């Protein structure tokens, strides 16, 4: 069987890392050229696009695109890992009734640009080491804050009031790359006045890929056994569906295939952002962008 090329939309199971998924898929698919497009924590499930073969060339564009999650916040205690797996580090009973409208106001206050500090139990590197390596050694260090975008956020739990020593509610959030939903859950709790953690999380979208598109590792194995796996792979072009598109004419296609720098004229747009360039038959040729030092020219960022 020739090497597979395309994007496999995996429904990542709980209990294993994203790297574990790659390891398992290499054995199932009998191929090495595989890459995932954004790490999910072991206890998080949902959409994990996997690039196979030549599709690994667009992995970074899927990784950089927006994500959507459905999560659950539990108020009443906080943990070392900011999720349900960590040790409790703060407790406070929810000693008042919280109205639905108050939670909605808190959630909507996060829409826009927010600043987050990555949790100690995360894969962010500081001085060449992952933060979780410091955390496991009992060392807490200063972490660089980052700005992320919350595009939309809404309350999913349908009740008008919330009460009890601990309360939980679900929300849906659409956000930029790099957003820590665990940290967002803690921030939501802080605004409501209680320690909090993320008690459940599912990624429902990555770039243009939805949870409905995703299949399990078991389904992948069955499709390989039936020699039908190629039928569920998404074309490489779907990995850049969120980018601006441009269709090159016949005369320009060969220049693009050769990686040429092109002059902007009536046939070629000025590409100040990364733009996916296609031929007249809809095949993805590459990603072009405005030339950083030569006005009036565009240059390839990646040739597919």
Residue 275 has pLDDT above 90, yes or no: no
Q: What is the structure's pLDDT at 3?
A: 81
* Backbone dihedral region for residue 6 (phi beyond 0: left; psi -120 to 50: alpha; all else: beta): left
Residue-level pLDDT at 2:
62
Provide the CA 149 distance to its chain's centre, in angstroms: 13
pTM, to two decimals? 0.90
Q: What is the pLDDT of residues 28-51, one digit of tens each?
A: 999 999 988 878 889 999 999 999
The answer to whether residue 262 scores a pLDDT higher than 90 is no
The pLDDT tens digits of the residues spanning 215-232 come to: 999 999 999 999 999 999
Residue whose token pair is 């009740």? 159
Can you give the pLDDT at residue 133?
79
Is the confidence at residue 76, as pLDDT, over 70?
A: yes
Residue 208: how many CA atoms within 13 Å on its side-chain side?
Answer: 13
Using alpha carbons, list the distances in angstroms from residue 216 to 10, 15, 21, 212, 219: 6, 14, 10, 11, 5
As annotated, the active-site residues are 41
For the cut 60, the answer to whether the pLDDT of residue 251 exceeds it is: yes
Q: Looking at residue 271, what is its pLDDT?
A: 64
pLDDT at 1 over 70: no
Using the predicted structure, report yes or no on whether residue 248 has a pLDDT greater than 60.
Answer: yes
Work out the percent of the chain whose per-residue pLDDT is above 70. Answer: 97
Which comes out higher in pLDDT, residue 84 or 138?
84
195-213 pLDDT, tens digit per residue, is 999 999 999 999 999 999 9
pLDDT at 266 over 60: no
More confident position, 289 or 95: 95
Is the pLDDT confidence value at 259 over 90? no
Q: Is 71 a residue whose pLDDT tops 80?
A: yes
Residue 272 banded pLDDT, cuts 50, 70, 90? low
- 187 pLDDT above the threshold of 80: yes
Helical spans, DSSP H, in the chain: 18-29, 59-64, 100-108, 131-136, 181-192, 217-225, 250-257
| Model pLDDT for residues 88-136, shown as the tens digit of each residue | 999 999 999 999 999 999 999 999 999 998 777 777 777 777 777 777 8
DSSP labels, 28-68: HHT-S-EEESS---TT-EEEEEEEEGGGGGGHHHHHHS-EE
The predicted structure's pLDDT at residue 282: 86
């Amino acid at each position: 069987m020739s090497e597979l090329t395309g994007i496999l939309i995996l429904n990542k199971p709980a209990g294993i890392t994203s790297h574990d998924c790659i390891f398992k898929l290499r054995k199932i698919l009998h191929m090495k050229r595989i890459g995932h497009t954004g790490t999910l924590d072991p206890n998080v499930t949902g959409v994990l696009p996997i690039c196979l073969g030549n599709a690994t060339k667009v992995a970074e564009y899927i990784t950089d695109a927006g994500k959507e999650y459905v999560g659950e916040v539990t108020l009443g205690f906080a943990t070392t890992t900011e999720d349900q797996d960590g040790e409790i580090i703060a407790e406070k009973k929810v000693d008042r009734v919280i109205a639905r409208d108050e939670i909605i106001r808190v959630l909507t206050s996060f829409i826009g640009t927010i600043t987050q500090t990555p949790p100690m139990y995360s894969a962010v590197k500081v001085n060449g080491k992952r933060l979780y390596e410091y955390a496991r050694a009992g060392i807490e260090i200063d972490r660089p804050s980052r700005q992320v975008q919350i595009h939309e956020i809404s309350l999913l739990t349908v009740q008008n009031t919330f009460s009890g020593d601990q309360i939980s509610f679900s929300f849906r959030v659409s956000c930029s790359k790099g957003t820590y939903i665990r940290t967002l859950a803690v921030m939501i709790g802080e605004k409501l006045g209680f320690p909090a953690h993320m008690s459940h999380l599912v990624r429902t979208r990555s770039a243009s890929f939805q949870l409905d598109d995703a299949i399990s590792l078991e389904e992948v194995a069955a499709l390989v056994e039936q020699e039908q796996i190629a039928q569920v792979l998404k074309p490489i072009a779907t990995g850049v569906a969120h980018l601006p598109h441009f269709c090159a004419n016949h005369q320009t296609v060969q220049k693009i295939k050769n990686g040429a720098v092109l002059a902007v004229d009536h046939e070629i747009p000025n590409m100040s952002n990364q733009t996916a360039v296609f031929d007249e038959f809809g095949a993805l040729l590459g990603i072009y962008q405005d030339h950083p030092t030569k006005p009036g020219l565009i240059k390839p960022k990646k040739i597919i």
